[in-house]
Amino acid sequence: MHERAPAFGGTDGQAYSVATFVDDTPDAAGRYGAALLFVRWSSAGDRPVGHLETDYLAWGVTSAAALAPLLALPLHEVKRHLDRCIERRGSP
């Protein structure tokens, strides 16, 4: 509708959208890790210009099991993870 990706504002004043990431293969313990990937958008909102990612937030014996807790996160928790990533990154 708006010809741009859905986004929300980070504490750095930039617009981000969020996606999930799950390992393609399990680790040595047989677990898949899942994390959040935040795509930063240009000020026009027409193209990605960077990204941030969390550490692994969930693990599972299948990729679906690792992903499920991330998909259940309320938006305020996702935003909290974004703000932590921005803080950890510091000034660009």
pLDDT in tens, 11-27: 999 999 999 999 999 99
Q: Could you give the CA distance from residue 46 to residue 74 in angstroms, rounded to a whole number?
A: 26
State CA 18 to chain mean position distance: 5
- List, for residues 25-77, the tens digit of each pLDDT value: 999 999 999 999 999 988 887 889 999 999 999 999 999 999 999 999 998 99
Q: Are 35 and 41 in contact (CB under 8 A)?
A: no
> What pTM was computed for the model?
0.86
